């Protein structure tokens, strides 16, 4: 990899492949989810060492409710049992945890654990760890549009006032920078309704590695691929190079 200054500030990950990892080993799918949690701990720790400022993971999508009831129940049970332990460890390592998504659909006990984990780590500054649960990118845009519609009905804004900036303020992660790099494990080449608004200019990296096998060396590969790209944000390469040259010129000061 290149210098630390080119480490992506915000990485997002679609953690795919837990079930297939377990089936390949003729084990229950729940074993794959447990192995995936172990991999997640490793990646959080490594991101902290690299200086990544923010990590966002897709833990449970709004579509995952359609999976077999037994698997969903086991996922919820794993989430419940892991949350207190993981929050304690994150807090000890100065990591802030936030949850995005429609958490109101979870059980009252799980909601209480979610709120407690967020409050416990709210003042931490080393890194922010965002967990998307019962989340969907389309849901995110709809809930933001609904909030703006409510503001219009209350006379706080006019319809013609609505622009990208106003909508962005209502989107999940509105306080964060957009992801620089989005990684999907497991071989699928789609983002599956994850951070649709926030990923407009995010660099995408797809790997066949199943999530439980995704370790620091795999993250290094994804970051190296990211660093090899030219991020133009709609500009031409020539414009980008010119802008970079100007920004690197020393400021002129008073002459003696």
List, by residue number, the catalytic residues: 16, 64
Q: Which two tokens stand for residue 120?
A: 């416990």
How far is Cα 114 from Cα 105, in angstroms, rounded to an integer? Answer: 12
SS3 at position 94: coil
How far is Cα 172 from Cα 179, in angstroms, rounded to an integer? Answer: 12
3-class secondary structure per residue, 106-164: CCHHHHHHHHHHHHHHCCCCCEEEEEEEEECHHHHHHHHHHHHHHHHHCCCCCHHHCCH
Q: Which two tokens stand for residue 240?
A: 């980008």
CA distances to 1, 83, 206, 217 from 14, in Å: 22, 19, 10, 17
How far is Cα 37 from Cα 13, in angstroms, rounded to an integer? Answer: 13
- Report whether 104 contacts 129 (CB < 8 A): no
DSSP track, 189-248: -S-TTSSTTTTTT-EEEE--S-GGG--HHHHHHHHHHHHTS---TT--HHHHHHHHHHHH
């Amino acid at each position: 990899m290149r210098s630390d200054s080119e480490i992506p500030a915000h990485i997002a990950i679609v953690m795919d492949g837990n079930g297939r990892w377990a089936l390949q080993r003729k084990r229950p799918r729940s074993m794959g989810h447990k192995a995936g949690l172990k991999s997640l701990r490793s990646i959080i720790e490594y991101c902290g060492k690299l200086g990544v400022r923010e990590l966002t993971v897709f833990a449970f999508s709004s579509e995952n409710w359609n999976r077999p009831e037994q698997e969903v129940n086991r996922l919820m049970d794993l989430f419940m049992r892991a949350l207190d332990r993981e929050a304690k460890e994150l807090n000890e390592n100065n990591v802030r945890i936030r949850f995005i998504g429609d958490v109101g659909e979870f059980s009252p006990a799980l909601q209480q654990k979610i709120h407690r984990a967020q409050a416990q780590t709210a003042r931490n500054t080393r890194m922010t760890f965002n967990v998307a649960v019962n989340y969907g990118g389309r849901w995110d845009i709809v809930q933001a549009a609904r909030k703006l519609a409510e503001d219009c009905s209350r006379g706080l804004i006019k319809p013609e006032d609505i622009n990208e900036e106003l909508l962005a303020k209502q989107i999940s992660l509105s306080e964060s920078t957009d992801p620089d790099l989005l990684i999907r494990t497991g071989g699928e080449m789609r983002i599956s309704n994850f951070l649709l608004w926030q990923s407009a200019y995010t660099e995408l990296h797809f790997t066949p590695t199943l999530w439980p096998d995704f370790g620091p060396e795999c993250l290094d590969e994804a970051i190296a691929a990211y660093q090899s790209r030219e991020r133009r944000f709609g500009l031409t390469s020539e414009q980008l190079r010119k802008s970079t040259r100007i920004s690197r010129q020393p400021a002129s000061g008073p002459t003696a």
